[in-house]
Amino acid sequence: MYKLTLKLSGIILPLSASLFTMSAMPTFAATCEYRVQNEWNNGFVASIRITNDTTSTISDWDVNWVYSGEDRITNDWSTKLSGNNPYTALPESYNAIIEPGHSIEFGFQGTKNSDPAESPVISGSVCEPVDPPEPPEPSEGVFRVNGSGKITKNDEVLPVRCGAWFGLEGRHEPSDDANNPGGAPMELFIGNTFWANGGQGTGRTIQQTIDEIKAQGVNVIRLPIVPQTLEADNPQGIPDVFKNHPSVLSENSRQALEDFIVLADKNDLNLIIDIHSCSNYVGWRAGRLDAIPPYTDADREEYDFTREDYACSDAGPGVTVHEYNEDRWLENLREIASLSDKLGVGNILGIDIFNEPWDYTWDEWKSLAESAYQEIDKVNSDILIVVEGVAAKKSDGTPVPHGNEESNPNWGENFYGQADNPLNIPKERLVLSPHIYGPSVFVQRQFMDESQERCNGLEGDAAGDEQCNILIDTEKLVNGWEEHFGYLRDEGFAIVIGEFGGNMDWPAGTAPIRDQKRWKHIAPGIDEDWQNVAVDYMVEHEIEACYWAINPESGDAAGWYGHEYDPVSNTEGWGQWNVFDTRKTDLLNRLWGNK
């Protein structure tokens, strides 16, 4: 990577900022960086990033460069490119303006006859010297829970207006993927895939998305990761397996995590970092640190993403083990807690210590959570410990008390055991974070129509196969939530629902084909009804929440952004975002008190 930092007598010198710092040198209207992102025998992909380092808006820009050898450009994206060595790049309409502290990036593919690909000197009026800006104030972030159960930052109440932005915890590649069959790449979804618009990309960037969600009111992001995200050299965390367009590729998943934390801090976005699984391959189904198959989706039809051949502890022949245990987990928690100091940021609100630990009893999980608090506190006493609940039973069938048997808690929802065996974690440092979902994620038995006797006690696929009706019974839902976690809000605990949301059009629209077939007797909109009941309950009880999810690639819950993808008519639209779903915008505005 080369960075333009000096211009003398018309000669522009590329200097690496990582080698030394020259405090007396002039600063520039923008930092212009040329980066070779990938190369092969006779070709390369490169990009140029322009970062506005000033306090003034850049309203236009141009960049120029020339290759001294035989490197030449064959196609480009996110710019208007002219010339044939030398080259001149001008902006498209959507990236001509660069706000202070923001960046734009454009890219190109080319041919070469030498190794490595050349990194030329770049110039242009946007890179001219300007008066240096005032240094920014160092970030501060001391997070606590006050006596009313509200989260504070530096002693000021921080309303939690939160959405999840996933991808760094890994996704599941199809078994017939041309480049990475059956893989689990860890890449933040950006809505800009490499095949979009005939290979030109959509132009969407992380900064654009941050600007858009902040304009809607978001001030907290729940960011799922896995242990492998922290490994800079993990083979599922490098550009070779990523789906994002070359213009927005990260160097690796660890760097993407750190870059996102820093960018969020610059944009006054606070983060809850969530250890989402013991392995990027096992994913959401884990339930415990040392998860092994069989998993809950082992027999799901028309589904290519079962992970019966991966585990987090010894599971016998033919199973790949990504070993995980309490010691490694605590090490990861300490490492995440250290990022505030390492990166010089004050926006890490808390660590969600493990996602949906449904395969533990309350007593087992309580002991682990208390150990997590002790280790995090040794490293960073400024952040909060976010603890999810358990479920109704373990994978071996062991029942877990949760109150009324007719109300089945979602994975992570059950804090019934906290009443008699409370967590030994200071209340001012603790956030309780249940997960709740409606029928688009899983059809629970409390959704059954009691007038259909054959459906009593059924749930999931069995209920669909019996053509059971679905009813959203407000009283039944509220009674369950109160028993599982709501009573703790009355005791002054901070409660932030870690995940809620769903597909407003289920079982139609972008719902999986198997759901569209099994539940076609249900009119679309039933999950929207559930989401409205959930928000009414949260508003009444002053419970805050993180919406799953900001991005739309969730197969069962969809997202706040719309999706070009349709499982029937537009499978090539996967990973390309549309505008916000106004129904979800209205829902979140009501939750946040904006309407």
* 194 neighbors 244 (Cβ within 8 angstroms): yes
The SS3 of residue 105 is strand
Catalytic annotation on 499? yes
Of the listed 499, 528, 544, 564, which one is catalytic? 499
Catalytic annotation on 356? yes
Q: Chain centroid to CA 318: how far?
A: 31
**CA–CA separation, 221 and 166 (whole Å):** 10
Encoded tokens for 184 = 């689990």
* Element spanning 212, H or E: helix 206-216
Side-chain-facing half-sphere of 109: CA atoms under 13 Å: 12
Nearest CA to 346 out of 375, 372, 377, 382 is that of 382
Residue linked to tokens 């003034």: 56
Of the listed 356, 483, 528, 544, which one is catalytic? 356
First to last CA, the chain: 47
The DSSP call for residue 485 is I
Q: How many residues appear in the chain?
A: 595
**CA–CA separation, 427 and 572 (whole Å):** 48
* Element spanning 83, H or E: strand 80-83
Side-chain-facing half-sphere of 381: CA atoms under 13 Å: 2
Residues 390-396: contacts with CB within 8 Å, 24+ apart? 390/357, 390/358, 390/360, 390/361, 390/362, 390/365, 390/414, 390/417, 391/356, 391/358, 391/359, 394/358, 394/359, 394/360, 394/361, 395/287, 395/359
Encoded tokens for 270 = 């606070």
* 229 neighbors 169 (Cβ within 8 angstroms): yes
Query: Residues 115-132, buried b or exposed e (16+ Cβ, 10 A)?
Result: eebbbbbbbbebbeeeee
Please enumerate in sequence order all residues whose Cβ is within 8 A of that of 50, keeping only pairs 6 or more positions apart, or say none. 30, 31, 32, 33, 58, 61, 63, 98, 103, 104, 105, 126
Encoded tokens for 312 = 């987090």
Q: Which residues are catalytic?
A: 356, 499
